[in-house]
Amino acid sequence: MKNKLFKDLLLSIKQMGEEIMKKKKCKKKCKDCKCKASIPYKNIQKAFKEEDKWRKTHPFLTKLKDIWWWIRYGIVNKIKSIPLEIRSFIQRGNRGWSNRDVWGLDYYLAKTIEKSIICLKENKNGFPNDLTEGKWIDILNTISDTFYFAKECSKGDLYLIRDIKKRKKWQKSLDETDKEINYNSYIRCMNNAEIKTYDLGWKNFRKYFFNLWD
């Protein structure tokens, strides 16, 4: 067992070294060389299958590869992003949003409204005069649910397709892709009940917008 692990370790180090040397030799001229980066996958599903097969047959090397990636890229990228994180933090404190948030403003607004509505519900001291407390909580729940769905759609984890035939066709395509690459992506289409809640939440958000205070 120890000998096998040692051999796997040596093989992993050798493969990492070969990849580094290929990248150094390549110098972004992948069309003119035979490095791994110059071989395009015509079928992305085939690429996923091959990667999944390799990771299953080489669990030890997979761990080393993941650790190597984190050391080579993860830590470096994290350090490089520190100035941007600090600037974004200061901008949010000064004006409530940062330049970085505008890159995905739909996601940022949906996430912010969802969380703030939940906070309002949990820390409320009153409710509109024409409603009971229980009814007001139900309304706030529909609003927070709506912006949760909006957030997930912005991330690409949910799809809002109202036409039932198109929705079934798209969901079938998603399921087939997951099956072919042997991966559960959790990406799906919203069902009828979720779409109904989504629409109701938008209606309540518009109707009770000026009641969203405490």
Could you tell me which of 23, 41, 42 has the C-alpha nearest to residue 33? 23
Which amino acid type is present at position 60? F
Could you tell me which of 48, 58, 54, 18 has the C-alpha nearest to residue 36? 18
Q: Is the pTM higher than 0.85?
A: no
- Residue ranges per structural domain of the chain: 105-211
- Dist CA 20 CA 31 (whole Å): 18
In a structure prediction context, what are the per-residue pLDDT tens digits for the chain, which is 214 residues long?
444 444 454 555 555 555 555 544 454 555 445 454 444 545 666 676 777 788 888 888 888 888 888 888 888 888 889 999 999 999 999 999 999 999 999 999 999 999 999 999 999 888 898 999 999 999 999 999 999 999 999 998 899 999 999 999 988 888 887 776 656 678 889 999 999 999 999 999 999 999 998 8
pLDDT for the residue 19: 55
- Dist CA 143 CA 202 (whole Å): 7
Could you tell me which of 195, 200, 204 has the C-alpha nearest to residue 161? 195
Is residue 132 within 8 A of residue 139, CB to CB? The reply is no
- Dist CA 72 CA 93 (whole Å): 33
Q: Angle between the 2-26 and 59-69 helix axes, to the nearest 10 degrees?
A: 40
Tens-place pLDDT, residues 183-196:
667 888 999 999 99
pLDDT for the residue 201: 96
